[in-house]
Each structure stands twice: as C-alpha cells, then as structure tokens.
C-alpha cells in the first residue's frame, strides 16, 4: 500500500515540475516578446538571453524529473 501512495506522490511531484517549468518558459517568452516589441533593435540580445534562460529552466526541470525517477525506483 505504501508503494502505491509513494508512486502517486512522485507523479504529483512530476506534474508540479512540468507546470512550473511551463509557467517559467511562458513568462520568459512573453517578457521577451514584449521587450522585442518595445525595442526591435535589441532583438538579438534579448533572444540570446531568452534562449540561455530557457535552457537553464529546462535543465532544472530535467534535474527534478531525474530526482523523481530515482525516488520512485528506490
């Protein structure tokens, strides 16, 4: 019985990780588009910063998913 509850909690954790990463990348993209719309000449710098930040958010999400997989297999 405890294994079933344990698996359900890990599934909820994975869901929170995905929701958090999606929210972060969505907010990042919206802010970048707003910045590019206000200053089109700064588009390259904003785009490069956005890609780096998105990669960091994805890395954190992937790390969280790996931790959840380790927990469920333990």
Tens place of pLDDT for every residue, the chain, 74 residues?
556 677 788 888 888 999 999 999 999 999 999 999 999 999 999 999 999 999 999 999 999 889 888 888 87
pLDDT, residue 4, reads: 66
Q: Tell me which CATH homologous superfamily contains domain 2-73.
A: F1F0 ATP synthase subunit C (1.20.20.10)
Angle, CA of 57, 63 and 67, to the nearest 5°: 145
Handedness of CA 6, 11, 13, 14 (dihedral sign): positive
pLDDT, residue 73, reads: 80
Q: From CA 28, how far away is CA 18, in angstroms rounded? A: 15
Q: What is the pTM of this model?
A: 0.80
pLDDT, residue 3, reads: 64
Task: Note whether 50 and 13 are within 8 A (CB).
Answer: no
């Amino acid at each position: 019985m405890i294994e079933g509850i344990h698996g359900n909690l890990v599934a909820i954790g994975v869901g929170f990780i995905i929701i958090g990463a999606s929210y972060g990348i969505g907010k990042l993209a919206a802010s970048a588009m707003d910045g590019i719309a206000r200053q089109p000449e700064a588009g390259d710098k904003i785009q490069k910063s956005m890609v780096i930040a998105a990669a960091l958010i994805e890395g954190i999400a992937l790390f969280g998913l790996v931790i959840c997989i380790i927990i469920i297999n333990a």
